[in-house]
Structure 1
Amino acid sequence: MSAAHPGTVRKGYVPSRFGQLHYVESGAGEPVLLLHQTPRSWTEYRDVLPLIGAGYRAIAMDTVGYGASAKPAGPHSVERFADGVQDLAAALRLDRFHLVGHHTGGVVAVEVAARLRERVLSLTLSATAFVDEEKRGGGHGRVDQVDPRPDGSHLRELWDRRRGFYRPGEEAYLTRYVIDALTVLDRVEEGHEALRRYAMEPRLPHITARTLAFCAPHDHYSLPSLEKFASALGCPTKVLSDGHVAAPEQVPQEFAATVMDWVSLG
């Protein structure tokens, strides 16, 4: 795929052990690979990509099982999601790259950084859950799961499940979420379940990349994890000026600036 003008977006597919993986990129230069939350797709970074692409080769992939990427049978796991990231990096010949993950994508980024070590130039964890014994053992209700009904009322229920994360005027972002969730409706909860099974603590000592953990101020699900990552990794933390679970869409300029500032440190 040839280089293009910053701000333009290019789409592509690469082969993997699971089938084809879909990705979208913008810009040129040092690669910055962005991993989305579940059950989203690359569209979570639609507004962030061209901003980071102004200075870097920004790449947002669809995680294995989501978006337009292959949807293999069998149980999802953080390890399998990370396998897909490794396959995409190999296919795109990303010998060394910066890694960014949001929510579930951040947990996957932890696993990738622990595996690839020095190949990950920097690690940026956005609203990433610190998956410890408390997280694995806590009571968890259904996050996105809805039961299809003949009258279609489950579509409204899907909308309402995340409506509180978005402000009036942000319906376009919520629509993106609904589209992504509908493409995997029969397995929509599995990404969250995979996260809760992940044994994160033994993986953290393997991370060599300098790491930043940040979160939107209204994302009360993830905000408490900042202190835990700071303690475990000795990393700096930051709280954005605004935003909720959908921070990459709600404050794309600040999100992109935070990533680029961290990446630029070398």
Structure 2
Amino acid sequence: MANTVRRGYAPSPFGQLHYAECGSGEAVLLLHQTPRSWTEYADVLPLVGRAHRAIAMDTVGFGASAKPEGPHSIERFADGVEALADGLGLGAFHLVGHHTGGVVAVEVAARLGDRVSSLLLSATAFVDETKREAAPARPPVDHVDPKPDGSHLVELWNRRRGFYREGEEAALTRYVIDALTVLDRVEEGHQAVYRYRMEERLAHITAPVLAVCAPEDHYSLPALEKFAAALGCETAVLPGGHVPAPEQLPGEFADVVTAWVDRPRP
């Protein structure tokens, strides 16, 4: 069936990279936030997969993908994306990134040029010198210290409880599972974002860009204007949602992705 999610692995210099996919046709590659996995797009894949080959990968170091030693960086995450695209035989493909995945998508698009047919940046941080300088003073986002009584599990849950509405506990549970999978390195994706020299890479992007954000995601919403100024790109605010917008609004999110991918271009 076209909407059946299939899972597999592709080789890379780091080891095997895990991905899930749905549908056929033009490839749409979706990159998740930190410290998540492909499950952030579990409800989006079948919807985008109705008209396209929707692929959600586990970033290098996260989910079921290889977990190499050494420091994480946006560049290394992008190496993994390239390796997956090559391993799956993707020529040109559309690229979608959410939060950290959006920063990784910037680097991939800057490297691959016209091979990226379009770029959708969802709730993506605009990383400039001001953000890098402020990073050392920022409190940890997801770090918890393991406790013998397991109370760190509740602490981890509460780290993101405020982003999820009542009734969205299943999605929050998926976050906790993903974070526990990389608990000893759970903060490193965020740190990689803050080190990235994004402003030096933006000029290399040739793909058409759409930047979107959920209205309650106050961390990322101001970046829309910055991307518009830097790239001359279009922007849009989703009809609701917070940091986990792809899980809170999978239908609306998938509609935005599909409309952007399908837009006629010269």
Instruction: Find the residue that maps to 1:173 and give its secondary structure.
Output: helix
Question: Displacement, 1:221?
Answer: 0.4
Partner of 1:41: 37
**1:102, 1:185 → 2: CA distance?**
21
Partner of 2:75: 79
1:97-136 matches, cutoff 5 A = 97-136=93-132
Partner of 2:3: 7
**1:174, 1:240 → 2: CA distance?**
20
Question: Is 1:181–2:157 an aligned residue pair?
Answer: no
Instruction: Find the residue that maps to 2:152 and give its secondary structure.
Output: helix
Measured against aligned partners, the alpha-carbon deviations of 1:118-149 in whole angstroms (never above 9, x if no partner) come to 00000000000000111111131100000001
Instruction: Please point out which of 84, 87, 90 is paired with 1:91.
Output: 87
For 1:118, give the aligned amino acid: D
**1:62, 1:79 → 2: CA distance?**
15
Give TM-score scaled by structure 1 length. Answer: 0.98
Partner of 1:28: 24
Instruction: Find the residue that maps to 2:81 and give its secondary structure.
Output: helix
Question: Is 1:56–2:59 an aligned residue pair?
Answer: no
Partner of 1:194: 192
Gaps of 5+ in 2: none
Measured against aligned partners, the alpha-carbon deviations of 1:77-121 in whole angstroms (never above 9, x if no partner) come to 000000000000000011100000000000000000000000000
**1:87, 1:245 → 2: CA distance?**
28
**2:3, 2:84 → 1: CA distance?**
22
**1:9, 1:53 → 2: CA distance?**
9
Question: Is 1:219–2:217 an aligned residue pair?
Answer: yes
**1:167, 1:53 → 2: CA distance?**
27
**1:134, 1:127 → 2: CA distance?**
18
For 2:38, give the aligned amino acid: W
Partner of 1:207: 205
**1:94, 1:161 → 2: CA distance?**
37
Measured against aligned partners, the alpha-carbon deviations of 1:23-42 in whole angstroms (never above 9, x if no partner) come to 00000000000000010000
Question: Displacement, 1:200?
Answer: 0.2
1:213-252 matches, cutoff 5 A = 213-252=211-250
Question: Displacement, 1:6?
Answer: 1.6
**1:73, 1:202 → 2: CA distance?**
27
> Between Structure 1 and Structure 2, how many residues are aligned?
262
**2:123, 2:184 → 1: CA distance?**
26
Question: Displacement, 1:265?
Answer: 1.2
**1:45, 1:221 → 2: CA distance?**
21
**1:137, 1:117 → 2: CA distance?**
29
Question: Displacement, 1:7?
Answer: 1.1
Give TM-score scaled by structure 2 length. Answer: 0.98
1:160-171 matches, cutoff 5 A = 160-171=158-169
Query: Percent sequence identity over matched residues?
Result: 74
**1:83, 1:114 → 2: CA distance?**
12
Instruction: Find the residue that maps to 1:73 and give its secondary structure.
Output: coil
Gaps of 5+ in 1: none
Root-mean-square deviation (Å)? 0.5
**1:33, 1:242 → 2: CA distance?**
23
